[in-house]
Structure 1
């Protein structure tokens, strides 16, 4: 998914200096962003208060939206570099096309994982004949320097491992949870899991104390470590937790995101993750000139135009503003 802001603010991310080394309960409020003609998203990362959780650098939550009489998601071809995109649905379908030739319909609880590496372009759209509701999340994972110039590729994993306990089903999207490992490719120690809780469930989920974590509520009423978390909001939890208490007041669905704190400092602007202003500037020019990012074939429409760069130089800084 693209950042469709026509005047995107640069995000300065990474570095261990601002990682919270002990458990905290920091509520992150979303920013509402229009995505195309008919989809509005709630942007949780990057946030004014926190830029990253592990290598997770971008989180959009959208829906549930009634698109029965709407075109639904319509995101024209656009570029990416230096990251992975994670498509995750609870309702609806998204048709993915990219410049490597991938064409794949992603359905609920199937992992669509695109590694941009040095450069890729893709589009995302609701199929012409689509379900009534669209509900999901789009996330980015920053690639470390050793792997950010890798060959671009796309993975589709329809069958993912699960962890169960009374009142809980956890689908492992990326990484490892309680001994169950996702088939999705990762480049840093990372966890992404989809949690389904039944009304009245009280569970304690095992965590890695060296990871930092955040929880996004997709739907329902739930308390995360004693904090009520309304749908569309995220709770940052810091590091140093061996387990996470969860209590569901109703049937609820969450996303648990975690990872080893990302040591490298980044510059993130529009749909690019780099290390310097010059690198971002060069990527923008390559997209504008039609080189490097390839062509998305089969999409009925023009590619996105890159917005103007801000007047000052983009500089990597810390993880929080």
Structure 2
């Protein structure tokens, strides 16, 4: 007689259509939420709710490719609104759900365990998949989320405070010029990703958008999923030593892809701290921007759901 595959039973509980939260998953597996989460994380390297959300998005991508409407895919994946689904989909895949994958396998998202949705209703364990480097994922994710947090902090500022030179003479890079106001630093945070993405895509130099907070939020929301997708793709392909020839430079310059990410993370971290200094100078109370606290908050949120 074949013995029980306890991990498989736990995975079945995660993906059961009736189990939309941690309590329901644990109940289906006749386990406490704490024990269920601990055992599954130990066996797969992924929290139950995070795994379910990822696999449901993968299933949605497969359904969309077969002609399912965005609305039907959203509700089948357990989302309460099409807007929430579209944001999660874009964050995961780097493009909106209207831009569906064209080839089999394109519906997979990065996973630490090779576990993916396999049509029509089963799982596929891809044993040769290169796992995402948690350092890369953490640093890119924190950079993007922290930028959005600071944009949200700036929403309530009067325009004169937003554009005031709190730090006259502040300079991050010589080619960008002075960055003494909240407005300028936030715009440079968003703009740098837009320009580098254009260089990576071989596109024209992007037109500069508005620099009021609402415009910057819209620009950030457009560029963030694409930025995340680029580095996930580089990680999957092991392409860190690939060379980018940037035709936007005059004359064109070449850059190793790993140095492009290091460059952006370095200057983005400096800019985010400059914004915090200026927000505090304007009377705002803001956190320290610590990636440890950011990751802890994300983990606790996933386990509580």
| TM-score normalized by the length of structure 2 | 0.26
TM-score under structure 1 length normalisation: 0.25
- Greater helix percent: which structure? 2
Indicate the structure (1 or 2) with the bigger Cα radius of gyration.
2
Higher strand share: 1
